[in-house]
Amino acid sequence: MTLLIVATLVGEIDDAELRRIVQGDAPDLEAYEFFLRGQQAFYRYSRESNVAAQHMYGKAIELDPGFSRAYAALSRTYHYDWQFAWSELSARSLDRAYEMAREAVTTDESNARAHSELGFVYLYQKKRENALMELQRALALNPNDADIMAELSAVEAYANPEKALDLIRDAMRLNPHYPDWYLWYLGDAYYALKRYREVIEAVELIRNPTLGRRLLAASYAQLGKLQEARWQAERILTADPTFSVAAFVAKLPETDPDRLADFADGLRKAGLPE
């Protein structure tokens, strides 16, 4: 009961963990504590905090090998390591993210967050149909999970951005205390529609704008606000001196050549290096 109360208060328990508790197979209390500490570190969105989160999730899995949610969370840390080149081994990290997401699904096939995470990996592997299938499966398993609805919007942003806007707005209504990354997805959908002012309005609400600066730099540049765009570009290069427009754009899930060209053009106009 203590586990249920603590986890519910921090808003991290989901149907998978509730089911295990009801069935008398509750997650190990110490493992859950490591998981929550991993969540705290992960949402600081930095190279160092990502490593700390990996360590915490790894400890949770070591203590409770059946903890599907911890495998899913660990998958996301490897995903971000790949996406933002946060380690010397980042080129291999998307494969590692896939392995952890598959392990999450294998450990508990009925865990909605496991399917959601696998869908997120498929998105960046440019396997959109697989991504949609997994996210839709996740939402069917837990229709009231706002996070999964938000993740589905991320998939739709690269094919049907108007639908993506509807999904992310629904997610925000369902979870009015939504985390920052909902705003990134909202910004992605607006950018796909070339609604640059609304991109800026969304991303500037983010408490930690580090990863959203790419959208800000491109959007300001496309609006002709080059001073603001270059200020954002400077912040990007301070955080990541190796940043490259070509390398970053190549990793995006976008497959429409015009949209890719538009984003790359905005980043270049902001003064970011090819």
- Across the range 246-251, mean pLDDT stands at 94
Read off the pLDDT of residues 173-226 as tens digits, 9 standing for 90 and up. 999 999 999 999 999 999 999 999 999 999 999 988 887 999 999 999 999 999
| Tokens (6 digits) for 83 | 């996406």
In degrees, rounded to 5, the angle at the alpha carbon of residue 170 between the alpha carbons of residues 159 and 198 is: 65
CB 150 within 8 A of CB 167: yes
Read off the pLDDT of residues 229-245 as tens digits, 9 standing for 90 and up. 999 999 999 989 999 99
- Across the range 22-32, mean pLDDT stands at 69
pLDDT at position 29, please?
87
Read off the pLDDT of residues 68-91 as tens digits, 9 standing for 90 and up. 999 999 999 999 999 989 999 999
Read off the pLDDT of residues 119-140 as tens digits, 9 standing for 90 and up. 999 999 999 999 999 999 999 9
**What are the residue ranges of CATH 1.25.40.10 in the chain?**
1-143
Is the pLDDT reported for residue 5 higher than 80? no
The C-alpha atoms of residue 111 and residue 126 are separated, in whole angstroms, by: 23
Which one is predicted more confidently, 20 or 139? 139
Predicted TM-score (pTM) of the model is 0.88
- The domain 167-274 having CATH identifier 1.25.40: the answer here is yes
Dihedral, 87, 80, 7, 155 alpha carbons, nearest 10: -170
CB 48 within 8 A of CB 33: no
> CATH for 1-143?
1.25.40.10
